[in-house]
Amino acid sequence: MFVKRCYYVIYENDSGVGNKSNPESVVVEGSDLLIISPSISQLQLGVEENYYHSYSSASENLDSSLLNLESHNLIVDRWGININSDDDKLISRIRRKFSLKIKKCLTKLFLKILNDKSIIVNSSMESTCSWYLVSHEILPIAIKSVEKIMKDQYEEIDKALSMVRVVDIYEYGVSSLHMVRVITNDEKNDLMERAKVSINKRLHGIINFTWRRLAKFPKRRIDRKYRNGISGINLSCKDKKYICSIRRKFSSRIRSRLCDKFNAMISDKHQFSDGSIIGVFTWSKVSKELFPIAKVEVKDILEDEIKELYSVISRARIVVNSETDRFISDDEKFTVLTDLKRIVDRSLMCLCSKSFGEVLSSLGGNFSDSVASVVSDDVGAVYGGVKGGDFRINFYFEDDVSIFRVKKKFYAEIKRCIINKFTEIVCEGRVDLLPWVKVSTKLLPIIKKEIYPIMERKRVEIGSILSKSRASFCKLGGDSIIRRLTYKERCMSLSDIMRKSYRYLLSNFGRLWSTVIDSKKYSDESGVCNFIECISDEDE
């Protein structure tokens, strides 16, 4: 039986979407539009309704959150385009399903490794099972063990992406037009690439977490113990001085090179691959685009630094006791050099941040020459800022720093509040020392109630800053333009900041709970009377 494809497009204005008796809608002929209004799906549509039901059971009542701006922001941030929220949830369920399979597979593998110690070849590793000491050996084995699961996951996600629906939103003055269509091949390929990047990043986190959970060696304690860069290997004082001297010398060279590079990029109004232009923003706003450029710029300096460090390590001596020392072994050379490489890589991000801040401080006055009270029509995109519905806001540098400081201050307060509450709950024995996934249902309402007053104070303080904040733009010619935020932009910015704050906190509840229960277990095993001190020491 031939069914004519007849679709509905919904117009939304200030009074909302049309009601059942008089829906504001038009009928459109086409091959790729679907009904998106729940109210219209309840009408007697005849043949059109039959096709509507035949497409997908989920299409009968599309989630009204498609019309919700915050949901739209979350989905666009994740996928780059606004896909149907039901499809987004379906892909998330697929990923969760395969994540559980991966964890189960890795648990079996790591238990086998920990039981027979077949993979742990260094004597210093046998007593600690530190992830930093064994990751170079375990990571390739772990990735290989889950190849089949990863392949199945990619295939299932690829099938799901073929049925994804895209929601296009068009603004017409005070009204907006929402149209749902099937995904194109190019869009599907782009979503698949995004999914693979996210899945691979998540895989490394799962491997790390699973190993630490089974090895029962808290990550925070590892960081604190080995942050001096010698992984528990006691080098002679002379060798340590040589290493520090080399680090200082090359850090100075790197900083000078980075300042010159950033200075030139800002002066030339460097344009990134996505068409955005570098502006006067905090490092956190531009680090995603600038850090890869900085790494390439100083690659030769980093290579020279590693060579000099290796020359010192290769002839270093290990202190056995106050009277005896010995030559370093090959295994110890490898361990020390690996740890030093990790420290060099980590410090590069810090050097980039400081160098960029110095450049902005030295050039700050040069960016006020083209300040205007209004924005002209040829304003182009500027990298960084807070994304809104169909616009992006780039805060002026000083305002951006003020908002960042407030967020940092309140996060520290919330973190202390959560840890204190978790500690109180553990001490009173109200909850067993189980993983977060098993106790979250009981603890989440308690924690949300605990942090609500702090979040409200944060909302008020950020709102006060936003009322005086300015938006910074770059014209296509390269001039910088600054103006006050509009009322709509202030509301959108505040909503976006608070939404991301809640999302960040939710993602960290589990980590903070793990810190508390790990410290409790450690204090029980080591005989420490007050495990609250362990938490404070760990979480510095």
What ranges do the domains of the chain cover?
63-217
* CA gap 446, 56 in Å, rounded: 39
Q: What is the DSSP letter of 329?
A: P
- Residue 228 phi, psi dihedral angles, 5° rounding: -75, -5
Per-residue pLDDT of 148-203, as tens digits, reads: 999 999 999 999 888 888 887 776 665 667 788 888 888 888 889 888 988 988 89
pLDDT at residue 180, as a whole number: 81
Distance CA 355, CA 265 (A): 13
pLDDT, tens digit, for every residue of 114-161? Answer: 776 545 544 444 445 667 667 777 888 899 999 999 999 999 999 988
Helix (H, G, I), strand (E, B) or coil at 62: coil
The sign of the CA dihedral 351, 352, 353, 354 is: positive
Distance CA(386)–CA(494), nearest Å, equals 10
Instruction: Name the burial class of residue 258, with classes exposed (0-12), middle (13-18) and buried (19+) by CB atoms within 10 angstroms of its CB.
Output: buried
Residue 376 has pLDDT above 60, yes or no: no
> Other C-beta atoms within 10 Å of 509: how many?
18
pLDDT for 274 equals 62
Range in 58-72, 286-300, 406-420, 466-480 the model is least confident about: 58-72
* pTM of structure: 0.39
- What is the residue-wise DSSP string for 79-128? HSS-B-HHHHHHHHHHHHHHHHHHHHHHHHHHHHHHHH--S--SHHHHHH
pLDDT tens-digit readout, 457-508: 999 999 888 888 887 665 544 455 677 888 888 888 888 888 888 888 888 8
Angle between helices 330-363 and 131-145 (to 10 degrees): 100
Overall average pLDDT of the 19-39 stretch:
39
Q: What are the percentages of helix, strand and coil residues in the chain, rounded to 5?
A: 65, 10, 25
What is the residue-wise DSSP string for 225-279?
A: HHTTSSTT--B-HHHHHHHHHHHHHHHHHHHHHHHHHHHHHHHTT-B-TTS-B--
Q: Confidence class of residue 63 from pLDDT cuts 50, 70 and 90?
A: very low
pLDDT value at residue 155 = 92
Radius of gyration of the chain from its Cα atoms, rounded to whole angstroms: 28
Read off the tokens for 71.
């949901």
From 105-109, 371-375, 413-417, 531-535, the region with the lowest mean pLDDT? 371-375
Counting Cα atoms < 13 Å in the Cβ hemisphere of 318 gives 16
In sequence order, which residues have a C-beta less than 8 Å from that of residue 314 and are 6 or more positions away?
328, 333
Mean pLDDT, rounded, of the chain: 71
Interval 297-350: pLDDT, tens: 999 999 999 999 998 888 888 887 767 778 888 888 888 888 888 888 888 888
Half-sphere exposure in the Cβ direction for 99 (13 Å, CA): 17
- Assess whether pLDDT exceeds 80 at residue 449: yes
CB burial of residue 456 (10 Å; 0-12, 13-18, 19+): exposed
What is the per-residue DSSP string for 457-477? Answer: HHHHHHHHHHTT-EEEEEETT
> What is the average per-residue pLDDT within 513-538?
58
Q: How confident is the model at residue 14 (pLDDT cuts 50, 70, 90)?
A: very low
Cβ neighbour number for residue 131 with a 10 Å cutoff: 18
The percent of residues above 70 in pLDDT, for the chain, comes to 65
Contacts of 492 (CB under 8 A, 6+ apart): 69, 386, 388, 389, 393
Average pLDDT over residues 402-429: 88
Q: CA 430, CA 78: separation in Å to the nearest integer?
A: 37
Query: Rounded to whole angstroms, how far apart are CA atoms 89 and 379?
Result: 36
Which of the two residues, 47 and 352, has the higher pLDDT score? 352
With 60 as the cut, is the pLDDT of residue 440 above it?
yes
pLDDT for residue 358 is more than 50: yes
More confident residue, 285 or 371: 285
Q: At 177, is the secondary structure helix, strand, or coil?
A: strand
pLDDT digits (tens, 9 = 90+) for 388-410: 343 457 777 778 778 888 988 99
Lowest-pLDDT choice from 37-46, 264-273, 529-538: 37-46
Contact call for residues 20 and 39 (beta carbons, < 8 A): yes
User: Contact at 8 Å (CB) between 332 and 125?
Assistant: no
Q: What is the pLDDT of residue 425?
A: 87
Closest CA to 490 of 409, 407, 403: 403
Half-sphere exposure of 513 (CA within 13 A, CB side): 21
Q: What are phi and psi of 464, to 5 degrees?
A: -65, -40
Q: What is the pLDDT of residue 152?
A: 93
Q: How long is the chain?
A: 540
pLDDT digits (tens, 9 = 90+) for 232-261: 677 887 888 888 888 888 988 998 898 888
- Model confidence band, residue 216 (pLDDT cutoffs 50, 70, 90): low
Q: How far is CA 270 from the centre of its chain?
A: 25
The pLDDT-based confidence of 53 (bands split at 50, 70, 90) is very low
Q: Which are the contacts of 327, defined by CB distance < 8 A and separation ≥ 6?
A: 317, 318
